[in-house]
Chain A
Amino acid sequence: MQVSGEQGLAPNQPKKREPTTVATNATNTSDNAVGTQRVKRGMAEQLKNGVIMDVVTPEQAKIAEDAGAVAVMALERVPADIRKDGGVARMSDPDMIDGIVEAVSIPVMAKVRIGHFVEAQVLESLGVDFIDESEVLTPADEAYHIDKWAFTVPFVCGATNLGEALRRIAEGAAMIRSKGEAGTGNVVEATRHMRSINGEIKRLGTLDEPELFGAAKELRAPYEIVKEVAQLGKLPVPLFSAGGVATPADAALMRQLGAQSVFVGSGIFKSGDPAKRADAIVQATLHYEDPAVIARVSRGLGEAMVGINLDDLSDSQRYAGRGW
């Protein structure tokens, strides 16, 4: 079932190649449907309980894979460096992405700028497994997000609240992550966003039909998806957390707040001992309800990334406000 409600999609973006039916290399039939909602969301489901780690080189990708990452996010600079260096942050160099795809056997994700559907077309042609339409990069369109239904590859998008999450799902996102505040090593915004999304989902469950119409209006999201969320008691796609996770305890906090898993950006490779910290965060994500395990893996990790107090950031330095 394709969800209705395409408001907010770029009018000039090419429409999906119809039908979504191609022969794969492996079969000689033409009735294999690729890029369906179920295939995209199904991919997102497979990543649950696993940790997705930001990497900028093939060597880092190997370290992440060896530590037990379920996927890597290939990007040119980790968010902490984007923050430090300033300037426009864009999709990575295709050579770098190819290098990372070659280096590991786990799925590879990569980021595109909000609204930059050509960067997304490029990444899809490179064969990445998942695209992150990310506020960490400099937005390319201030009015429209990418029409994600038009792609075979699945997308993950950030959200600060339920309305934003549902608008992204209406545009075709197969996974939602909290935005948090990337590159700060400060988990407070991720906490705020997880509590907001899950709090609003709980509230929807208490509403009757007329109230759900009102809620859809308030959330600025299609009624069909609002109703589906009210019935399911959760999003129709996996909900992960991102943006400021730096320690094993941070990862477990996000899980206990309802995230099905976590993205870790600068937190690993900006720390003293990336391999050890990566392993510790994998274990804490898995055993998030077991404080004894979290305590054990938190010992002797060396220096965590230096965090940033959110009060020290001006509005223009906050990435979570990008997108809407």
Chain B
Amino acid sequence: MTARPTIGVLALQGDVAEHVHVLEGLGTGTAKVLSADHLDTVDALVIPGGESTTMSKLAVRYGLMDALRKRVVDGMPVYGTCAGMIMLADRVLGGTADQETVGGIDMTVRRNAFGRQTESFETGVRIDGIGQDPFDAVFIRAPWVEAVGPQVSVLGRVPGPDEAGRIVAVRQGGLMATSFHPELTGDARIHRLFVDIVKGHA
């Protein structure tokens, strides 16, 4: 991996500019990915928040879904936030009947699990690998992870119905996903962790 990787942001829909802004602040190259051709030019990818059903539909319609799956299989690091977490899940609950995902992380994600917008919230969450200070996590119509396979490391949880809590941050190899939106907070620690993963330092 080069010292200054180019990290693309999937730009089909959602808060693309916010991710680009954080990544630029961390000194990586950035690119907006709208097509399979664009995807060829990047070393790694962020799939932003937005509407997962819309994003999935457009990725299929514009011929990006297969290209994304191929890059993931070939080992491209990808970080997904909220809708992006759903896109990286091998299994989705509460989606639409025709909803496809890129997959890659052996997990079951429940879409809109925390409820509609009036139930959206922010709260502090401890995340493995970014230091002790809780991360101010913004959850918007957010998903949670219901189950993970043996290859998946859980990086963060919020309190849930039992002691284990709800899983809201995971990593499997070069793939990382959070239920919440670090790009909205001005705290770059989670993006920095991803950049370290991309550079092979974490």
Chain A contact residues, CB within 8 Å of chain B: 24-29, 31-36, 38-39, 41-43, 45-50, 65-66, 68-71, 105-107, 124, 127-130, 152-154, 282, 286-287
Contact = CB atoms under 8 A, between A and B. Distances in A.
Contacts of A69: 54
Nearest 4 Cβ contacts at the A-B interface: A129-B117, A32-B121, A45-B15, A29-B159
Contact of A65 (B12, B50, B53): B53
27 contacts: A27-B159, A28-B159, A28-B160, A29-B123, A32-B121, A32-B123, A34-B120, A38-B184, A39-B120, A39-B139, A42-B15, A42-B120, A45-B18, A48-B13, A48-B17, A49-B12, A49-B13, A65-B53, A68-B54, A70-B51, A70-B54, A107-B141, A124-B118, A128-B117, A129-B116, A129-B117, A130-B117
Contact of A24 (B17, B96, B121): B121
Contacts of B57: 66, 68
A199 B184 CA distance: 26
Given A26-B166, A28-B159, A129-B141, A48 B119 contact: no
Interface in B136-171: 138-141, 144, 158-161, 166
A168 to B, nearest CB: 19
B15 A38 contact: no
Contact of B13 (A24, A29, A50, A128): A50
A66 B14 CA distance: 18
Nearest to B54: A70
Given A39-B121, A65-B96, A68-B54, 5 more contacts: A24-B119, A43-B140, A46-B14, A49-B50, A128-B117
Q: Which of B12, B113, B140 has the most CB of A within 10 A?
A: B140
Contacts of A50: 13-14, 50-51, 54
Interface in B6-41: 11-18, 34
B50 A26 contact: no
Nearest to A41: B184
Nearest to B136: A38
User: Chain A contact residues: over half helix, strand or loop, or mixed?
Assistant: loop
A36 B140 CA distance: 11
Interface residues of B, number: 49
Nearest to B110: A26
A323 B184 CA distance: 31
A105 B96 contact: yes
Interface in B78-119: 82-83, 94-96, 111-119
Contacts of B113: 26
Contact of A127 (B94, B96, B116, B159): B116
Contacts of B118: 34-35, 124, 127, 129, 152-153
A107 B121 contact: no
Q: Which of A28, A42, A129, A286 has the most CB of B within 10 A?
A: A42
User: Chain B contact residues: over half helix, strand or loop, or mixed?
Assistant: loop
Q: Which of A48, A69, A286 has the most CB of B within 10 A?
A: A48
A49 to B, nearest CB: 5
Contacts of A65: 53, 96
B44 to A, nearest CB: 21
B77 interface: no
B119 A25 contact: yes
Nearest to A279: B61
Contacts of B158: 27, 29
Contacts of B112: 105
B11 A49 contact: yes
Contacts of B166: 26-27
B54 A43 contact: no
Contacts of A287: 34
A28 B158 CA distance: 10
B58 interface: yes
B184 to A, nearest CB: 5
Nearest to A36: B122
Contacts of A282: 58
A111 B118 CA distance: 16
A32 B144 CA distance: 15
A26 B140 contact: no
Contacts of A49: 11-14, 16, 50
Nearest to A69: B54
B119 A34 contact: yes
A42 to B, nearest CB: 5
Contacts of A152: 118
B54 A106 contact: yes
A129 B94 CA distance: 17
A46 B82 contact: yes
A124 B49 CA distance: 23
A72 to B, nearest CB: 11
A251 B114 CA distance: 33
A32 B122 contact: yes
